[in-house]
Amino acid sequence: MAKIGLIDRYIGEVTTYTYQIDLGRKNFQIEEGKGRILFNGGIAKGLKLSKEIQAAELVFLNQELEFCDKLDKFAISSLQAAISSLNGAMRSLSAVESGNYHIAEMTYLNNTKNRMHDMPIDGFHQACNAHYTRLQNSLRTPGMNLDEKNLCQLRAENMKAAVKVYIELQKAAIGSINADRA
């Protein structure tokens, strides 16, 4: 099975929007209008990518739940928890998008255990990390064919990609707040 994960598909876009966010921050002081356009464009691309990753994963989970054996209470419970967790991740993504992320950011502990790349580990991080672990555990399932394993591995990689994109969005949201305060 060919690799078509979001990491491979969007690596150029991630680099571009990260560059736009950074360039936008730097241009705030030189030419505010141009800086804000670059910054907002980068944020928009990052949000679109994060939403796409989460939406795709929710489709997979809902389909798994639909086809799951109704007597397998453990699998049903696990899938329902994963769906709930990813819906919570979407709320975290909305908080970053809303411009009010600084309020949420202040509520997280400021120690290294609760931060990743100096950004708070919020519901988005927790959901993606838990789902990554769930997918990795699924890879150990006996009887899974190679195509299923490849798809499961791509989905796991997408969760890691989502976290990387989200960290940049967090930095941008907190950075824009700091730029506005200056």
- Domain chopping of the chain, boundaries: 50-181
Q: What is the pLDDT of residues 79-108, one digit of tens each?
A: 999 999 999 888 888 888 777 777 667 767
Higher local confidence (pLDDT), 50 or 26:
50
pLDDT at 177: 44
Proportion of the chain above pLDDT 90, given as a percent: 15
> Which band of pLDDT confidence, cut at 50, 70 and 90, is reported for residue 119?
confident
- pLDDT the model gives residue 180: 44
pTM: 0.70
Provide the 8-state DSSP code for 68. S
Give the torsion through C-alpha atoms of 19, 21, 24, 26, to 10 deg. Answer: -70
Q: How far apart are CA 180 and CA 35, in angstroms?
A: 13
CA dist., res. 116 & res. 94, Å (int): 19
